[in-house]
Amino acid sequence: MTSTREQSRTDIHADTPVETQAEVPPQVTPAAPRVRKRRRPVTAYWRVVGTIAWKDLRAEMRSRELINSMALFTAMVVMVFSLALELDAQARRSVVTGVLWVAIVFAGMLGLSRSLAAEKDRGSLDALLLAPIDRSALFFGKVIGNLLFVLVVAAVLLVLLTIMFDMALMKPLLLLVVLLGSVGFTTVGTLLASMSVHARARETLLPILLLPVVLPLLLSAIRASSAILEDLPTVEWRSNLELLVIADVIFLVGAYALFDFVVEE
Amino acid sequence: MTTYAEGRTRLLRNLTYAAAILFVLALLMDFFYVGPEAQQGEAQRIFYVHLGSFLGAFIGFTAAVVAGIRYLRSRDPKWDTLGLSSVEVGLGLSTITIVTGMFWAKPIWNVYWTWEPRLTSVTIMWLAYAAYMMLRAGIEDPERRRRFAAVYGIVAFSSVLFTVIIIRVRPDTIHPAIGPTQASPEGEFEITPRIRDTLFFNLFTFGVIAVTLIWYRIRLENLFLHIERRKMDLLSQEG
Amino acid sequence: MAENVEYMIAGYVAMALILGGLIFSIYWRYRMLLRDEQRIAQYESEEQVLASSAAPTAPVRDDAPPPAVAPDRSETVPGR
């Protein structure tokens, strides 16, 4: 709850230029004098975004429940794949990107539904909504928080797969593909997870809602990663990379426009 | 003098007759107006209903996007009714697209199913709209259900766009297409004037069928909502 | 030319079945709803009968016989 108060305070930054002009000086609220000095609204907006993402991170650093379960889960996904497919060196080569992305997506969904469900159950989402902050700032804050979790999982996975599958995965281009894929995934994921937390069977509904929407993105990410891993020429992966960027932009804009309607109460 | 509702009912009845007649004519054209195609033989005739039903599904899913946007703007439940109805009809028609495609693929590609970009994307599209129905079923509060359904109806349309666009950009698809592609697909055929006539007639027919079905589905939903309201009234009277 | 009439027929049959199923499902649900509506109309009319009969007659019919007679007498006796 302390964090909520912080946000409402930070947000007054955004409104102060208008408020200070409109309101009569003696009736200023106690909090107002502290935020009297003018700030550019853009900075204030991103401060709110940062505060929300930071709140998530801090809560996680305190409890570590999410990141631990996500990391363990990814390790197990890698295990299950290696055992189920009885991979030899050649087979490992051909499935490694599939394993990478499946693990990212499933661990990511685990994290998404936990993060939004915790927000709803503690009632902190309602408190955040009551605060006079821009809804989209709230959205991007959540997206950045979730994105960081997904990226941590991806990093763990890359290390794990490098060691266990004996392959050089740390290529800058591959990291770029992972970043682009994760951005698209968490953007749609955050939007849809904030819907699915209100449903009766929320843990099962999120994958059903999310997978069909991100599968196209996932397919291009897998293709691009495979081509990059095998050192194929640029033509082989370029169109997929472009598709990833286009999908990211569409998802970011679409989710930004639609999030308002999802959280309004 | 007829009332507004009577006028609508008569219009719908005429539309129904038109759809039925068009459907029969389209079938006659499929079977008798066009001859069997030179390479693919009789199985090529599936193509007309395959493409027609996809157009119907496309109309349904597009209507769902329009309805979603209109609902979010106006909060009028009638737009939600349109959204639900058109998604349901679109789901049914896209099922026809998939199943007829399988029966075409077996003789031409020698398999019922192959994990080829177009087939994959159309399956994803189907799953997305099945998820739409799941979402509706999972949320109890009616206002929230309408709102979320509108949002998801818009989001799910990305899978339709993906299906329509992917055939133009992916060089490795074996699915035939009308118009330019980057690939040289298997199972392509030359479009003769008669094939083109039949195709356009089928597209038109399935468009009319889709609209008619959506209209009936809307009536069904309106009756359902009306009855729910009366039930609630009855219960509150007793209570 | 390939010999594949059976697949063409199968495709059209499948199309007819799915389209028919869609139409039938809409028709069937509509019919069930009409049946529901009839039942509701019946309840509503019963409710109305009950309500209209309840207002004037219920107090009389239920607890009227003993007290209605008793106060009647008690009132009429002193009055007489």
pLDDT at A104 over 70: yes
Q: Does B112 touch chain C (CB under 8 A)?
A: no
> Hey, are the CB atoms on A261 and B140 less than 8 Å from each other?
no
User: Cα(B46)–Cα(C14) distance, rounded to whole angstroms?
Assistant: 11
Neighbours of chain C (3+ CB pairs under 8 A): B
Q: In this complex, is the C-beta atom of A123 within 8 Å of any C-beta atom belonging to chain B?
A: no
Residues of B in contact with A236 (CB under 8 A): none
Record: contact A195-B148, CB cut-off 8 A: yes
Give the span between the Cα atoms of B200 and A124, in whole angstroms: 56
Which sequence spans correspond to the domains of chain B?
A: 48-238
Mean pLDDT of chain A: 79
| Inter-CA distances, A201 with A24, A118, B53, B131, Å | 50, 15, 33, 13
Residue A258 has pLDDT above 50, yes or no: yes
CA distance B82 to chain A (A): 19
Place A51 in a pLDDT band, splitting at 50, 70 and 90.
confident
B237 touches chain C (CB under 8 A): yes
pLDDT score of A62: 79
pLDDT digits (tens, 9 = 90+) for A202-218: 788 999 999 999 998 89
**Chains C/A: 3 or more C-beta pairs closer than 8 A?**
no
CB–CB of A78/A100 below 8 Å?
A: no
Host domain of residue A104 = 64-263
- Closest-CA residue to A241 (of A157, A155, A192, A172): A172
User: Does residue A203 fall inside a structural domain?
Assistant: yes
Give me the total of CB pairs closer than 8 Å, taking one residue from chain A and one from chain B.
72
Q: Tell me the mean pLDDT per 10 residues along chain B, length 239.
A: 80 94 94 82 88 95 96 94 96 95 88 84 94 93 94 93 77 69 65 87 96 95 92 80
Q: How confident is the model at residue A134 (pLDDT cuts 50, 70, 90)?
A: confident
Q: Is C24 on the interface with B (CB under 8 A)?
A: no
Give me the number of domains chain A comprises: 1
Lowest mean pLDDT among A3-12, A236-245, B179-188: A3-12
Per the domain annotation, does A13 fall within a domain? Answer: no
3-state helix/strand/coil string of A78-132:
HHHHHHHHCCCHHHHHHHHHHHHHHHHHHHHHHHHHHHHHHHHHCCHHHHHHHCC
Chains C and B share 3 or more Cβ pairs within 8 Å: yes
Q: How far is B124 from chain A (nearest CA, A)?
A: 5
Q: Which of B121, B138, B159 is opposite residue A213, by nearest beta carbon?
A: B159
- pLDDT surpasses 50 at A225: yes
A76 inside domain: yes
The answer on pLDDT for A81 being more than 90 is no
Q: What is the mean pLDDT of residues A94-108?
A: 89
Q: What pLDDT sits at residue B187?
A: 67
- Whole-number pLDDT of residue B182: 59
Is B41 an 8 Å CB contact of chain C? yes
Show residues of chain C in contact with B230, CB under 8 Å. 37, 40, 44
Assigned domain for A44 exists: no
Q: Per residue of chain C (80 residues), give pLDDT as tens.
A: 567 888 899 999 999 999 999 999 999 999 999 999 999 888 888 877 877 776 554 444 444 444 444 444 444 434 33
Min Cα separation A201/chain B (Å): 7
Interchain proximity B135–A195, CB inside 8 Å = yes
All residues at 6 or more sequence positions from B11 whose CB lies less than 8 Å from its CB, including other chains: none
Residue A48 inside a domain? The answer is no
- The pLDDT of residue B35: 80
**Bridge partners, residue A232, by sequence:** none
Q: In which band, very low, low, confident or very high, does the pLDDT at A35 lie, cut at 50, 70 and 90?
A: very low
Using the Cβ of C26 and the Cβ atoms of chain B, whether some distance falls under 8 Å is answered with: yes
**Residue in B121, B131, B154 closest to A258 by CB:** B154
Domain tally, chain C? 1
Mean pLDDT of A220-238: 85
Q: Residue A150: pLDDT above 70?
A: yes
| pLDDT at residue C56 in the model | 54
In DSSP notation, chain A reads: -HHHHHHHHHHHHHHHHHHHHHS-GGG--TTGGGG-S---HHHHHHHHHHHHHHHHHHHHHHH-HHHHHHHHHHHHHHHHHHHHHT--HHHHHHHHHHHHHHHHHHHHHHHHHHHHHHHHHTTHHHHHHHSS--HHHHHHHHHHHHHHHHHHHHHHHHHHHHHHTT-----HHHHHHHHHHHHHHHHHHHHHHHHHTTSTTHHHHHHHHHHHHHHHHHHHHHHHHHHHHTT--HHHHHHHHHHHHHHHHHHHHHHHHHHHHHH--
Whether the predicted interface score ipTM is above 0.90: no
Is C3–B36 a contact, with Cβ atoms under 8 angstroms apart?
Answer: no
Give Cβ neighbours of residue A8 (< 8 Å, ≥ 6 apart): A131, A132, A133
Tokens at residue A212, please? 């069909």
* Tens digit of each residue's pLDDT (9 = 90 or more) over A174-191: 999 999 999 999 999 999
Does A touch B (3+ CB pairs < 8 Å)?
yes
Closest CA to B146 of B54, B80, B212, B102: B80
Place of tokens 């997978």: A211
pLDDT score of A29: 45
The per-residue DSSP string of C29-74 comes to: HHHHHHHHHHHHHHHHHHHHHHHHHHHHHHHHHHHSHHHHHHHHHH
- B chain contacts of residue A196, beta-carbon cutoff 8 Å: 135, 138
Assign B37 to helix, strand or coil: strand
Q: Which position has the higher pLDDT, A23 or C35?
A: C35
Checking if the pLDDT of A119 tops 90, the result is no
Q: B42: exposed, middle or buried (C-beta count within 10 Å: 0-12, 13-18, 19+)?
A: buried
**Which pLDDT score, from 0 to 100, does residue A30 have?**
46
Q: Out of A17-31, A42-56, A61-75, A106-120, pick the least confident.
A: A17-31
Q: Which residue of A has its CA nearest to B123?
A: A212
Instruction: Please report the pLDDT score of residue B12 as a whole number.
Output: 93
Of the residues A213, A260, A264, the best mutation for testing chain B's interface (the one with the most B CB atoms within 10 Å of its CB) is: A213
Give the distance from CA C41 to its chain's centroid.
Answer: 5
* Pairwise CB contact (< 8 Å): B152 & A209: yes
Confidence of residue A7 (pLDDT cuts 50, 70, 90): very low
pTM here is 0.82
Residue of C nearest to B97 (CA): C15
CA distance B85 to B9: 18
